[in-house]
Amino acid sequence: GQNIDQPTEMTATEGAIVQINCTYQTSGFNGLFWYQQHAGEAPTFLSYNVLDGLEEKGRFSSFLSRSKGYSYLLLKELQMKDSASYLCAGTPQGGGNKLTFGTGTQLKVEL
Amino acid sequence: DVKVTQSSRYLVKRTGEKVFLECVQDMDHENMFWYRQDPGLGLRLIYFSYDVKMKEKGDIPEGYSVSREKKERFSLILESASTNQTSMYLCASKGTGAGYTFGSGTRLTVV
């Protein structure tokens, strides 16, 4: 299958930590990307996981478990500017350059 | 940094018109993609190209065609625009690295 599932919306408080989950059918994808997209703008690259485990990059970390078909994006010390849509995308098994995207998670950071 | 430029940010066209959306990248990338993005549906792949004059259908090619006469330019063509093609269109390019670089998008309205 080619579905990628993520929650539609999340709300969190400035300064807090939020985890955005992404699940997929394990037979479909090899690596997982996370992109950030502010309203009216292009998606921008955040992270790429092809091996299991946690990749940390400043306030943002991404985790992948290939056997479970599960990834998450962890955002720490939330700032108002983190309010955006977060897109999970998978690269196909066997290689290839097409990305399949989830529908995105709209994160709202509140005071 | 790779730059992907889409010729128009906003476009309004009439039903039945032939519409050209242009995308240019400046880093000699082999792979270029056209997606459309709609609320609740996420990014869906229309067409992609892995080399000059080469093209492959994505998930929703109906009503669209593409042209890649030069490596840096990938054009999306709506042969006869319809109201259900009102959407945000995103172009992306990819080289030998893992990630995509997106253009700023063209918001097309068909009236």
Tens of pLDDT, residues A47-72? 999 899 999 999 999 999 988 999 99
Spell out, as residue ranges, where chain B has pLDDT lower than 50.
none
For residue A1, pLDDT over 60 is answered with no
- What local confidence, expressed as pLDDT, does residue A92 receive? 77
Cβ pair B102:A44 closer than 8 A: yes
Do B35 and B46 touch, CB atoms closer than 8 A? Answer: yes
Pairwise pLDDT comparison (B75 vs A92), residue with the higher score = B75
- What local confidence, expressed as pLDDT, does residue B90 receive? 97
User: For testing the chain B interface, which of A64, A98, A105 should be mutated: the one with the most B CBs within 10 Å?
Assistant: A98
Environment class of B57 (CB within 10 Å of its CB; exposed 0-12, middle 13-18, buried 19+): middle
Distance CA A40, CA A81 (A): 14
Do B35 and B45 touch, CB atoms closer than 8 A? Answer: yes
For residue A78, pLDDT over 70 is answered with yes
Burial A82-103 (b: 16+ CB within 10 A, else e): bbbbbbbbbbeeeeebbbbbbb
First to last CA, chain B: 37
Q: Collect all residues from B whose CB is shorter than 8 A from any CB in A.
A: 4, 31, 33, 35, 40-45, 48, 50, 58, 90, 94, 98-105
User: A57 is written with which tokens?
Assistant: 């990059």
For residue A2, pLDDT over 80 is answered with no
B10-19 confidence digits (pLDDT tens):
999 999 999 9
Taking residues A58-87, what's their average pLDDT?
Answer: 96
Cβ pair B42:A98 closer than 8 A: no
